[in-house]
Amino acid sequence: MEPVMRQAGRPTVAIELTEDERATLQRWARRHSSSQALSLSRFLCKRLVLFCSIYRCWLMRSG
């Protein structure tokens, strides 16, 4: 592999991937994103449930 020269910073090395390697890396990248999205949606769902329970208690106290 030959170094790829850029204008600033360290020289980088070009990486050549087979189609199988590229597909595997793309699959891993998508899986990571989908697990992050699922985690975020669970977090937001828990926050919404907490907010609704606090709001319900507030409504019950106010009359």
Asked if 29 and 39 touch (Cβ cutoff 8 Å), the reply is: no
- Contact by Cβ (8 Å): 23, 17: no
**Alpha helices by DSSP H, the chain:** 19-62
* Per-residue pLDDT at 1 exceeds 70: no
Q: Can you give the pTM of this predicted structure?
A: 0.44
List the one residue out of 45, 32, 37 whose CA is nearest residue 53.
45
Which residues does 17 contact at the CB level (< 8 Å), separation at least 6? Answer: 25
Q: What is the pLDDT of residue 4?
A: 57
pLDDT in tens, 11-53: 777 888 889 988 888 887 777 677 777 788 888 888 988 888 8
